[in-house]
Amino acid sequence: MNLRQIGLPLFILSGFAVLVGNSYAQQKSPIIDTHIHYSHDAWEIFPPAKAIALLRQAGLKKAFVSSSNDDGTMMLHAQAPDFIVPVLRPYRRRGELRTWMHDPASLENVKTRLQPGLHRGIGEFHAYGDDINTDVLRGVIALAKEHDLFLHAHSDAEAVDLIFEQDPTARVLWAHSGFDDPEDVMVMLEKHDNLWADLAFRTDHAGNGKVDDDWRVLFEKYPDRMMIGTDTYTPERWPYVVAQAAWSRGWLDDLPADVAQKIAWENAENLLQARRKTDD
């Protein structure tokens, strides 16, 4: 199914959402959370069934999960294959996030762990500026290209530019929207057609159920490019997925229904359905 094929049903659903009006907060409307980690220290406290139950309690439609190490993601996927979207994290432990790009074993880990057809992306990885030009990152970007996977990059704008320099056909989900200002995020979205951005661990875009004016401009100019995320970077943040979803529904309610629905889950669905444009 290509983008055009999935576009019609999504369009119909969007139209329905407009008809029923803004109701994200009231109806516990679906959300795809694109930024979940299920890392080693969470497995005992929240065994897979309990973790899945929390995600469902949050009213999620799907969850993009990456874990240090990938066993966590595999455990959740085995429990709920239609619900969990596996994304391959390069780290064996979360503590590698500052050093992995200089460790050839990280790339070997990715090559060993990668299951084409099962993993839908590689990330969330941390890389800034020139890190993208290390052998490890070059290898990861090449693997993503080879297997048509998106890259979930916790990066600054310079690193995102360098990813697209290496592979203009790459699809990048920009973690935390780079913690950049909305104006700068907008510049990046304008520059790169295949760039999406998640809003994990940031609250500057909304407060007390109201969307910030500058972010509203961005959301309405690029309604197809933004996504919701939580970032469960410690085990204690797993219960927060529920609170985060409720909070997100609050501010989504402040947007036009069609825009809200795109940000809530349609854009994530589109990222999964999108296919790489060939170079030739």
Partner 1 sequence: MKLFLALAILCLTAIKASAGDEKPVEFTLQEKQMIVAHGPWPLAMEPDSSNRYSGSDVAIAFGQRLFNDTRLSSERDLSCATCHKSSQSFADGMARSVGRNTVDRNTPSLANLRLNRWFGWSGGADTLWGQSVRPLQDEKEHNLTPDVLVERIAEDETLLGDYAQAFGAGVFDHEPELVMANVGKALAAWQETLKTPRTVFDQFRDVMAVGGTDYPTGFSLSAQRGLKLFVGKAKCSICHFGPNFTNGEFHDIGLSYFIEDGRVDSGRYAGIQTFQDTPFTRAGKYSDERPETAQKAPGQFVQLQHRNWGEFRVPSLRNVTNTAPYMHNGSLQDLNAVIDHYSTMDLERLHINGESLLQPLGLSDDDVSDLIAFLHSLSGAPSTQ
Contact residues for partner 1, defined by CB under 8 A: 41, 45-46, 50, 93-95, 97-98, 126, 154, 176, 179, 201-203, 207-208, 231, 233-237, 239-240, 243-244, 247
Q: How far apart are CB 210 and partner 1 at their closest, in Å? A: 10
Nearest CB to partner 1, comparing residues 121 and 178: 178
Q: How far apart are CB 179 and partner 1 at their closest, in Å? A: 6
Nearest CB to partner 1, comparing residues 126 and 249: 126
Whole-angstrom Cα distance, residue 123 to residue 254? 31
Residue 267 in 3-state DSSP? helix
- For 145-211, the DSSP string reads HHTT-EEEEE--HHHHHHHHHH-TT--EEEGGGGG--HHHHHHHHHH-TTEEEE-TT--TTEETTEE
Q: How far apart are CB 232 and partner 1 at their closest, in Å? A: 10
Q: How far apart are CB 234 and partner 1 at their closest, in Å? A: 6
φ, ψ at 137 (rounded to 5°) = -65, -40
Whole-angstrom Cα distance, residue 56 to residue 84? 11
Q: How far apart are CB 35 and partner 1 at their closest, in Å? A: 11
Nearest CB to partner 1, comparing residues 93 and 111: 93
Tally of helices (H runs) and strands (E runs) in the chain: 12, 10
Nearest CB to partner 1, comparing residues 94 and 276: 94
Nearest CB to partner 1, comparing residues 41 and 269: 41
